[in-house]
């Protein structure tokens, strides 16, 4: 991967509501990594941030047609690139 792309790589929890991105790397380990994989979060998977809960965390994401809520700590372990 070239450095140009690396600059655009951010944690999922920081993307704007309504915007979409592609999974670049999962930094999560153990059980949550398994959960992410179960949701189909592999490299290149498109994710859209849909809505925040009343307190701002968790955030609901659209992942492969399903709406999944993730806490910011967990979403930060998914690195994405903007599209």
The residues binding another protein (CB under 8 A) are: 28-29, 31-40, 42-43, 45, 50-58, 60, 62-71, 73-74
Q: How near is the Cβ of 5 to another protein at its closest, in Å?
A: 20
Cα 10 to Cα 77: distance, rounded to the nearest angstrom: 10
Residue 60 makes CB contacts below 8 A (sequence gap 6+) with: 49, 50, 51, 52, 53, 67, 68, 69
**Closer Cβ to another protein, 3 or 30, answer by number:** 30
CB of 4 to another protein, least distance (A): 25
């Amino acid at each position: 991967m070239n450095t140009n792309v690396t600059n655009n790589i951010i944690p999922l929890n920081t993307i704007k509501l309504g915007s979409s991105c592609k999974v670049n790397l999962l930094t999560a380990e153990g059980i949550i990594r398994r959960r992410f994989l179960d949701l189909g979060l592999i490299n290149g998977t498109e994710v859209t941030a849909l809505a925040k809960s009343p307190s701002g965390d968790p955030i609901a994401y659209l992942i492969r047609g399903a709406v999944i809520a993730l806490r910011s700590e967990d979403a930060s372990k998914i690195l994405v690139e903007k599209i």
